[in-house]
Amino acid sequence: MKTLKELEIWFVTGSQHLYGEATLKLVAQHSQEIAASLNVNSNISVTVKYQPTVKSPEEVYAICAAANAESKCIGIVAWMHTFSPAKMWIGGLKILRKPLLHLHTQYNRDIPWDKIDMDFMNLNQSAHGDREFGFIMTRMRLERKVVVGHWQDTSVAKQIDTWARAAAGWNDWQGARFVRFGDNMRYVAVTEGDKVEAEMKFGYSVNTHGVGDLVAIVNSIDDKAVGELVNTYETLYVVSADLKKGGKQHESLRIAARTELGLRKFLEQGNFKGFTDTFEDLHGLIQLPGIAAQRLMAEGYGFGAEGDWKTSALVRAMKVMAIGLPGGNSFMEDYTYHFEPGNEMVLGAHMLEICSSIAKGKPSCEIHPLGIGGKADPVRLVFNVGSGAALNASMIDMGNRFRLLVNEVEAKEPVAPLPNLPVARVLWKPLPDMKTGCAAWILAGGAHHTCYSQNLTAEHLQDFAEMAGIEYVGIDADTRLLSFKKELKWNEMSYLK
């Protein structure tokens, strides 16, 4: 998917027959105008599709059933221009399976002080009509996003887009397939999880294929395709002399290219949206996939190392949410710390697999030994990452629920060239500060693996967690450890069954 415009959010206005023809005609006109305006708003990345006003339980039910059935529809934006008695909505909301955004807006921005009369008051009733609608969703314990403000306000469009992007990620998970080559890294706890529960909760399936199935496809790739991909590497990256044609390790570059082509073919043939591998189970693969994982991620595939399927699926969803935005999203690991007083930082990296979508400048393509796994030296892309606001997101399995943990961070420019570090890397300062941010992350049980995002905000992920019906825990500039600990305790109570 190159653009989110092929996905639709449906603009549904609620009313009732009591108002009569003339008023309902105006309601429909206003709704069409708002939907059309949002549809062409450059801040909104999906298609906004007007739907006729719903005025009865039957019409509400029908639009919810139609939304469920339409694969292009990723959510409903509901607005009560006039008063829509909300018992009419119970039947429809009970069966609605798509996310809902409650747009609490009003057709007129300003009160017309000189002209206002009871006709105006009776038409522009969302101030109380939307309260009636809010009640029924709260009474039914339904998750939804509430956006407040005039529909021509840029901040309103941006918030709608944030929710729509989350809905696109959520939609992408439904029926998605992720493949694991090999199981979890031996004895590791946080990358484990309940795949049956994940499929019920998230809609995606995770299944294992023996790495031999992959090796067979890798070995079937013809030499011509390998040669072409090697040429592509030489165009896109600064390829080290040893790896170039005539260089003494050129064959290693060809092996890396063959691995990438085999992996891509495997993913395409199986209609997989992401994968995991593990250095402990690579029988028949000559190198641990490095550049292959980096480039496949850049194309939009999810990836998790060491069997980490939860992070692979999260990386994929976040890539879909971010389609069209500048910057990138990558598999990441908190690797090592800089504890200089007053300038504390985390150095994020992985053994190899950082997505080139977050690279600053032209990556270099290098080969170095890997001190783990006992395989041949793997080829990888090495690069730095730019500064600015970013975040790390981690999905963990708490046993009775999934928790999505997000830490907002401030990425920093590299402070030195790091000539001996042969992997892609990024430096960041966790918010609100190193001590609080790291302590909160550890208390919340956050993984060492994350999805690092340069272009999504905590709000995207909060909306996403609400759509999934899972716990969301955020660590940001306002986090204080005492209240954070209480939040974790209170959340524990709210998930007791």
Shortest reach from residue 194's CB to Mn ion, in Å: 21
Nearest CB to Mn ion, comparing residues 92 and 193: 193
- Do the beta carbons of residue 166 and residue 321 sit within 8 Å? yes
DSSP 184: P
Shortest reach from residue 289's CB to Mn ion, in Å: 14
Task: Using the rule CB under 5 A, give the single segment among 84-92, 235-243, 297-305, 385-393 that binds Mn ion.
Answer: 297-305
Q: Name the packing angle between helices 309-321 and 195-202 (round to 10°).
A: 20
Shortest reach from residue 305's CB to Mn ion, in Å: 5
Nearest CB to Mn ion, comparing residues 172 and 333: 333
Nearest CB to Mn ion, comparing residues 41 and 330: 330
Shortest reach from residue 380's CB to Mn ion, in Å: 14
CA distances from 125 to 130, 173, 435 (A): 8, 37, 49
3-state secondary structure of 17: helix
User: Which residues touch 114 (CB under 8 Å, ≥6 apart)?
Assistant: none
Nearest CB to Mn ion, comparing residues 36 and 188: 188
Which of 96, 100, 157, 305 binds Mn ion (CB under 5 A)? It is 305
3-state secondary structure of 59: helix
- Do the beta carbons of residue 66 and residue 1 sit within 8 Å? no
Residues 329-348 that bind Mn ion (CB under 5 A): 333
Tokens of 273: 């949206």
Interface with Mn ion includes 285 (CB under 5 A)?
A: no
Query: 147: left (phi > 0), else alpha (psi -120 to 50), else beta?
Result: beta
**Cβ-proximal residue to Mn ion, closest one:** 305
Nearest CB to Mn ion, comparing residues 137 and 352: 352
Tokens of 272: 């997989």
Task: Using the rule CB under 5 A, give the single segment among 104-112, 256-264, 325-333, 400-408 that binds Mn ion.
Answer: 325-333
State how far the Cα of 68 lies from the Cα of 82, in Å rounded to an integer: 25
3-state secondary structure of 297: helix
Nearest CB to Mn ion, comparing residues 278 and 479: 278
Shortest reach from residue 333's CB to Mn ion, in Å: 5
Nearest CB to Mn ion, comparing residues 19 and 331: 331
State how far the Cα of 331 lies from the Cα of 388, in Å rounded to an integer: 18
Nearest CB to Mn ion, comparing residues 161 and 333: 333
Shortest reach from residue 301's CB to Mn ion, in Å: 17
Shortest reach from residue 449's CB to Mn ion, in Å: 6
Residues 429-488 that bind Mn ion (CB under 5 A): none
CA distances from 439 to 22, 61, 443, 477 (A): 61, 47, 6, 14
Task: Using the rule CB under 5 A, give the single segment among 136-144, 241-249, 259-267, 301-309 that binds Mn ion.
Answer: 301-309
Kindly determine how many residues on this chain lie close enough to bind Mn ion according to the rule CB under 5 A.
2
Residue 356, classified by CB atoms within 10 Å of its CB into exposed (0-12), middle (13-18) or buried (19+), is buried
Residues near Mn ion (CB under 5 A) are 305, 333
